[in-house]
Amino acid sequence: MYEINRKKSMILFGVLILAVVGLSLVAYHVSGHMGIEERFNSAVGIYAGPEEEGSSGIFGFNIEGNPLYYAVILASLIILCLIIYIKK
């Protein structure tokens, strides 16, 4: 069994993260502040109308798509997982 070099691991990962975040900030400043759909449409050259103002959600976090369907599907998945887990 080999010994894990934690210091080397953290330095390597930290440098990678800093490089990625740096590049990402540059890309963000060049492309400007916009929503995900607006960013995609702008990237491929689709000129859509202004984005519909959705709910501001909780601290800016909101659900894509229909929230009711989201809740129903998520609840079904959780119940399914519980059934499989209990049967195990």
Site of interaction with other proteins (CB under 8 A)? 2-6, 8-10, 12-13, 16-17, 20-21, 23-28, 30-31, 33-46, 57, 59-66, 69-70, 73-74, 77-78, 80-81, 84-85, 87-88
Q: At what angle do helices 6-31 and 36-44 cross, to 10 degrees?
A: 70
Q: How far is the CB of 60 from other proteins (least distance, A)?
A: 3
Contact 5, 21 (CB under 8 A): no
Q: How far is the CB of 55 from other proteins (least distance, A)?
A: 10
All residues at 6 or more sequence positions from 71 whose CB lies less than 8 Å from its CB, including other chains: none
